[in-house]
Amino acid sequence: MAVGLTHYLILASVLFCLGLYGALSRRNAIIILMCVELMLNAANLLLVAFSKGFFDYLLIGQAVVIFSLVVAAAEVSVGLAIVIALYRLRKSIDIKDINILKW
């Protein structure tokens, strides 16, 4: 069976669900950031696959992926800065210990 658009879509959803499972089931803040990156990557794969499968000559999906890369870089830099600040405050990056905003 030749590899087609459907294979890429299913692979992207498998990667997204692995990232979702990791983000929900881990307590380490850095692991949660990694899983968010995995989910963003799955979305990028979906965009590129659709860009190839639908409008091969337009490539608008690939242009959108570049913006997605920019947003991912910004997100991870701010997220890691928050993790470092929390570690300085609480000496832990376990999200169970991060309840400062809890009333």
Partner 1 sequence: MGSDLAFWVLAVTAVSGALMVVTMRSLFRAALGMILCFLSIAGLFITLTAEYLGMAQIFVYIGAIAILIIMATMLTRQVEHSNLPSPYKFPAIIGALAFLGVSIWVLLNTQWFLEKLPPIIQDITPVSTSTIGLILFGQEGLILAVEIAALLLVAAIIGAISVAKEK
Give the footprint of partner 1 on residues 69-98 (CB under 8 A). 69-78, 80-85, 87-88, 92-96
50 membership: H or E segment, kind and range:
helix 29-53
Task: State the Cα–Cα distance between residues 78 and 82, nearest whole angstrom.
Answer: 6
Question: How many C-beta atoms lie closer than 10 Å to residue 55's C-beta?
Answer: 11
Task: State the Cα–Cα distance between residues 14 and 42, nearest whole angstrom.
Answer: 8
Looking at the Cβ atoms of 66 and 103, the one nearer to partner 1 is: 66
User: Binding string to partner 1 for residues 4 to 43, with x set by CB under 8 A, is what?
Assistant: xxxxxxxx-xxxxxxxxxx-xxxxx-xx-xxx-xx--x--
Looking at the Cβ atoms of 49 and 103, the one nearer to partner 1 is: 49
C-beta of 15: minimal distance to partner 1 in Å? Answer: 5
